[in-house]
Structure 1
C-alpha cells in the first residue's frame, strides 16, 4: 500500500516565510519543527541572485529586514541563556558575525530601519504603569488577556529607536497608543495604533510623530492595518470600515488627510485584502503592502485561492500571481519574490521576473516520497440557489468498489476559508483510510460580504449548507459510506460541530476543538468576546439574552446522541477552557457518550503552533476517535 503522511511526519515540515528583498538579494526565515526537543527552531537564509545559502546559525532567528543600503540585515532572536528576552541583532550581508544591539523584555513584534539606516525602529510591549511586586492581578481594563500572549492589561506596544552603532534605545511613541505597523517617509515616523481597545476594539488609526507628539491622521472609525505614504502627502491604506461589522471586507484605499477623502481602489473586487485560507503547517506570513511604478501590491483571498494582486490609483486591478494555490508572503526589489503552497505542496520560495516564475527552494522536497490525496472539487447548489465550493479527498490506496468512512471538516472563523492550501490533518486522515469532505459554507471568506455575513444567524444557513454538502457528496461519490460519517472542526468549526450534534443524529462520531458552547460565558471570559459576541449575535447580552442562549450549543445538550470528543487547551483565551468544561459536564450529567482532552500550556493555536508533541497527540486523538466509532 502507498505510504501516506502520519501524525509524526509533522516533524519533517520546513516552514518558509518572512521574506524581505533588496534589489536582487533576498533574506527569509525557515522554521524547523523538532519532535525530539519539542520545540521550533528558526534561522535565516540569503539569496544573492544566484543561489540560496544559510545566513545565520541562531536557533531562534526571525523577522529579517534589510537596511536601506542593503549592507545590513536586522533580525530578532532569542540567543540568551534563558531564551525569554527578545534580542535585536544586525549582521552584514557580505558575511561576518551577528552583533547584539538591544534586548526587550516582552518580545519584539516588528522592526524597520530608518531611511538613513542609522537607527532601527522596534515595536515592543511595555508596562504603562508600575506593577505590584506580588502575584495578585489588579485589573482595571478589558481586554485583560489575549490569546497566545497571556496578560495584556496595563501593557501597550510602543516604538523604540535603537542606534545601529551604539545600541542605545529611546522610546518615541506615547504610552497610551498600542502600536502595530511602522514606516518611515521623508524623515518622519508613521504608524498604526489603537487608542481605546476597550471602547473601540475594532478601530486602529494612522498616526505621525511630529516633534514629541503623535498626531492622528484618520478619523477614529476605521481599522487601518497597513499603509504607504505617498510623495504628495496622501496615503495608501489597507483598511476595514466595519460598515457591516466583522464580515466587512478589508480593502485598499487612497486617502487624503487634508480633505478627508477616502477612495476605495479595490471596489471592483469584493474580496478581503489578506490571506484567510486555513493551513496547519504555515510559515510566518509577512505580506505588507508594496508600492512600485504606480501599483499597490497586496494579497487577497479569492474563493479557495489566495493570490497576489495589484491595483493602481485609477482602481485598475490585475492578478499578478494566480493559480490554485495560497500566496503566503511577498516582497518587491528588482523583481517579485513570494512564498506559496498548494493542497499537496508545502510552502516554498519563488521569484517572478519578466513574467517568468522560478522556484528557488525545495525545503519540503521530502513530500514527494509520500502518496498524497489531491482534493477533488465539486459545486453544491444550495436549497436557496447559491453555489457552494466543496471538495473530497479519497483515502490513500483508494480501491474502486469499496465503501469508506468519511470525516466532514469545518473551518474556523467563520470568516476564513478552505481551499488550495496544505492541511496536514486532512492528509493524516486520508492515510488512515478516511474520505475527507470540506467546503466553504455561508460565513466563509473569499466570496463577498453578503456571503460572509451570518451575523445573528449562526446555525441556520451555514448549518444547512454543510448538511447539503454532505448530501451532495453522498450522491456524487458512491464509495462514501453514508452510515459511517464523522464531523470535526475548531473554533467556529468547533461551535458548528457542537451545534450539529445537538441538531442531527446523522453523524456517527464527532470531535469538537477550541469551541464555543455558551455565548453568555464566551462574552465575558475571552479576549475578543466583549465585541465579537455582540457583533455576531446581533445584540449585546442584556438587550437580547434569549438570542445568546438560543444560539448556544449548550442549550441543546439533551439532544446529543453522537459520541463526542472535546479537545481544549488551558491557555486558550480566545475560547476559554470553561467552554469545554461546561459542555462536557452537561453531557456527562445527561448520560451522553463524551470524553474530554485538555492540553496544558497550549492556547487557541494548538493545531498550528502548539508544542510539537502536543500537536502530534492532538492528531492521534482525532484519528483515534474516528477509527473507534467509524471503523
Structure 2
C-alpha cells in the first residue's frame, strides 16, 4: 500500500511538473515581438534615497504617459527586502529629487518646480515653497532646520534701443532680441534668459528663500554642509574669463553668516562634487588635471575641510569616477565607474586597495544601451542601486559587502511577460589597424535561427567619448523585433577602456574608429548567419558622424540612416551650443586658423564618394548638433542625385527620445528606410 501511494505521489508530481513545464513553454511561445508603441509600457527606477536608520527606500519611478506623450515620474517606497512596494506621491505630481532629513523624519522633494515635504509620522505631504524657478541640488542642514538648493535667478536687462512712433493699440511686430551673453543658448533649453544659478537656503518648514551667492557666475552641482551647519561646500567656475576656461572650476567654502566665499582648490582643471565625510573631517571631491584632451578621467580626491592634505584615492584606477558616496564610518568611499562597458560599484578605503562589489549598475538610459546608473548607501555598508539587464530598463537592487545583489523591484514584468525580448551576446574581435581588442554585442531577433540568413544593422553610439554595454535598449530591440540582427560596439574613442584608448581619436576623429566598426561587421558575418547583401548602418550624434563618414568610405551598406549627425566640423564648431568647449578640446586650432584639419575630418568632404541611399533624422530644436548640419548633407546628396530623405522632428532637442512618440518614430523611420532597400524588395 505504501509503495503504491509513493508511486502514485511520484506520478502526480511528475504530471504536475510536465503540466507546469508545458504551461511555461506555452506562455513563452505566446509572447510576441516588441511593437513600436510598447515604448509607453516602459518604466524604470532611479534616484534611490534610503531613509536613515530604516529599511525603507524611496525612489523615482518613471513611466510614459500615453495621453500627454510625456515621461512622468512619481516617488515610490520599498523596503530593502523588496516588501511594501507602494506609491508615496500622487499620480498627478511629477516628482523627483527625494532627499531625507538627517533624522529620517521628513522627506524633501521637488514636484512641478516647487519644493514639497513629506512627514513620515503622519504620512502627509505638501508644498512648502513658492519659487519663481525650479530648484535643484536639495541638501539638508545637519540639524534638519534648513534646506539649501540651487535656483536660476533672472537679471533684468532692457533693450539698448527703444523704437519711437508706435501708436496706441498698434499691432507691431515683436521687437528684436538683443543678445550679448557668451552662453546664449543650450540644447534642451533653447535661447537662455538673462541670469545665473545661485545658492539659496530656506527654513525646512517653508518660508522665504535667502540668496547666499551673487555675481555673474553659475553655481551648480552638489551642495554639502559643514558638520556644524556653519558653511556650505560647492563647486563653480567663478573666473571672469570662465568662457575661455569652461572646465576650470574649484571647490569653495561658503560661510552662511558672513557670505564669505573661500576657494579650497586652485589647480587648472575641474574640481567638483564636494561631499563632507560623516565625521566632518574630510571632503571628497572629483577632479582632473586639465591637459586639454577630449577625454580625461575624473579622479576621486580627499582633502581636509580647510583644503589641506589633498590626495587622490583613485590614482591607480584608469577609469572615470562618475559618482561616489562616503561610507557611514568615514573610513572609505563607495565609487561608481565604467569598465569594459559595465557599470562598476567599488569600495575605496582611505588607506587600502579598491574592492569591486558589482558590475551590473546601469539601465537608466533605456533608449540605447549607454552606460550610467545610480547608487546610494543604505546602512551597515549596504547599497541600493539601479540594476542593469539586457531584457528591461533599470530595477532596484540591494547589495551587501561580500555578497550577491538582490533585486527588489520588478517594474517591467508586465512588458517581459507579454513580449519576447531579443537576446544579447557579447563579442570580442581584433582591430585590423593595430590588433587591439574591440568589444561589442550582438542583439538577435526573436525566434533567431542560426541556420537562416538575416539582415544586419550596425548601430553606432554617440559621444564619441561614451560607451555601450549589456543593457536594455528599446530602439535597438525594436529594430531586432523586425527581423534584423543588430551589432553595437565600442570602437576606439569609447570610454571604459582607459584614457589612452579613448584618446586614440584625439584631434583625429573620425579615423580608425571607422576600421574598428567595419572589423566588427566582418566578425559577425564570419558567424555565417548574415546576408552580406543586406547590410545597413545607423547611429545618432557621434554615431551619425560615423554613419556619414562610413558611407563616404565604403559602398558595402545597402542603406544608411544618420540621426542628428555632424557633417561639417567648421560649421559645427561655430553653431553648437558648447562652442567654447568644442573649439578648445576637440580641435587643435580655431576653424579659421586650420580649416584643412576641420575639412579633413568632415564627412561632407567625402560626399562625392557616396552612393548609399541615406535617411537623415534630426530634431528641429537640436542645439548640440544643429539641424543645419543635416540640411547641408541633405542638399549635397540631392545635388548628387543620391536617394535621400530628411525627417525633421518639431520641437525636439538632441535628446530625441524625451517624448515617447519621438522615441517610437526614430526606429520606425529607420526600419521603413531599410525595408525600402532590402534585397527581398528588389
TM-score range normalised by the length of the shorter chain? over 0.9
Structure 1 residue 212: Cα displacement? 1.5
2:441 matched residue in structure 1: 391
Out of 207, 228, 234, which is 2:275 matched to? 228
Out of 93, 109, 112, which is 1:75 matched to? 109
Taking the aligned partners of 1:106 and 1:166, their CA distance within structure 2 comes to 16
Structure 1 residue 298: Cα displacement? 1.6
Taking the aligned partners of 2:73 and 2:97, their CA distance within structure 1 comes to 10
Between 539-548 and 434-443, the greater mean CA deviation after superposition: 539-548
Structure 1 residue 73: Cα displacement? 0.7
Asked whether the equivalents of residues 551 and 612 of structure 2 are also in contact (C-alpha less than 8 Å), the reply is yes
Taking the aligned partners of 1:204 and 1:47, their CA distance within structure 2 comes to 38
1:190 matched residue in structure 2: 233
Taking the aligned partners of 2:512 and 2:133, their CA distance within structure 1 comes to 43
Taking the aligned partners of 2:386 and 2:360, their CA distance within structure 1 comes to 13
SS at match of 1:460: coil
Between 616-625 and 441-450, the greater mean CA deviation after superposition: 616-625
Asked whether the equivalents of residues 512 and 565 of structure 1 are also in contact (C-alpha less than 8 Å), the reply is yes
**Distance change >3 Å, CA 208–CA 324, structure 1 → 2:** closer
Taking the aligned partners of 1:385 and 1:309, their CA distance within structure 2 comes to 31
Stretches of structure 2 lacking an aligned partner (at least 5 in a row): 1-28, 163-173, 364-371
Out of 306, 320, 327, which is 2:357 matched to? 320
2:393 matched residue in structure 1: 346
Alignment partner of 1:91 is 2:122: no
1:573 matched residue in structure 2: 623
**Distance change >3 Å, CA 259–CA 115, structure 1 → 2:** closer
**Distance change >3 Å, CA 469–CA 553, structure 1 → 2:** same
SS at match of 1:542: helix
RMSD of aligned residue pairs (Cα, Å) = 2.1
Taking the aligned partners of 1:365 and 1:488, their CA distance within structure 2 comes to 30
Structure 1 residue 255: Cα displacement? 3.3
SS at match of 1:345: coil
Alignment partner of 1:444 is 2:494: yes
SS at match of 2:375: strand
Taking the aligned partners of 2:354 and 2:192, their CA distance within structure 1 comes to 39
Taking the aligned partners of 1:421 and 1:259, their CA distance within structure 2 comes to 40
2:137 matched residue in structure 1: 110
**Distance change >3 Å, CA 391–CA 129, structure 1 → 2:** same
Between 187-196 and 556-565, the greater mean CA deviation after superposition: 187-196
User: Greater CA radius of gyration, 1 or 2?
Assistant: 2
Alignment partner of 1:239 is 2:280: no
Taking the aligned partners of 1:119 and 1:487, their CA distance within structure 2 comes to 53
Taking the aligned partners of 1:225 and 1:353, their CA distance within structure 2 comes to 28
1:267 matched residue in structure 2: 315
Taking the aligned partners of 2:176 and 2:391, their CA distance within structure 1 comes to 49
Taking the aligned partners of 1:28 and 1:353, their CA distance within structure 2 comes to 19
The 5 A counterparts of 1:250-265 are 250-255=298-303, 262-265=310-313
Structure 1 residue 600: Cα displacement? 0.8
Between 32-41 and 130-139, the greater mean CA deviation after superposition: 130-139
**Structure 1 residues 158-206: Cα deviation after superposition (integer angstroms, max 9, x where no partner):** 1111112242211112233312221111211111112244111122221
Between 208-217 and 415-424, the greater mean CA deviation after superposition: 208-217
Taking the aligned partners of 1:3 and 1:241, their CA distance within structure 2 comes to 52
1:500 matched residue in structure 2: 550
SS at match of 2:102: coil
What TM-score, normalized by structure 2, do the two folds share? 0.85
Out of 510, 515, 525, which is 1:464 matched to? 515
Alignment partner of 1:63 is 2:97: yes
Structure 1 residue 8: Cα displacement? 0.9
Between 4-13 and 130-139, the greater mean CA deviation after superposition: 130-139
**Distance change >3 Å, CA 183–CA 136, structure 1 → 2:** farther
2:450 matched residue in structure 1: 400
Structure 1 residue 260: Cα displacement? 6.0
**Structure 1 residues 336-365: Cα deviation after superposition (integer angstroms, max 9, x where no partner):** 111111212321111124635322211111
How many positions carry a matched residue from both structures? 609
**Distance change >3 Å, CA 333–CA 323, structure 1 → 2:** closer
SS at match of 1:102: coil
Taking the aligned partners of 2:234 and 2:487, their CA distance within structure 1 comes to 43
Asked whether the equivalents of residues 518 and 553 of structure 1 are also in contact (C-alpha less than 8 Å), the reply is yes
Out of 115, 120, 124, which is 2:147 matched to? 120
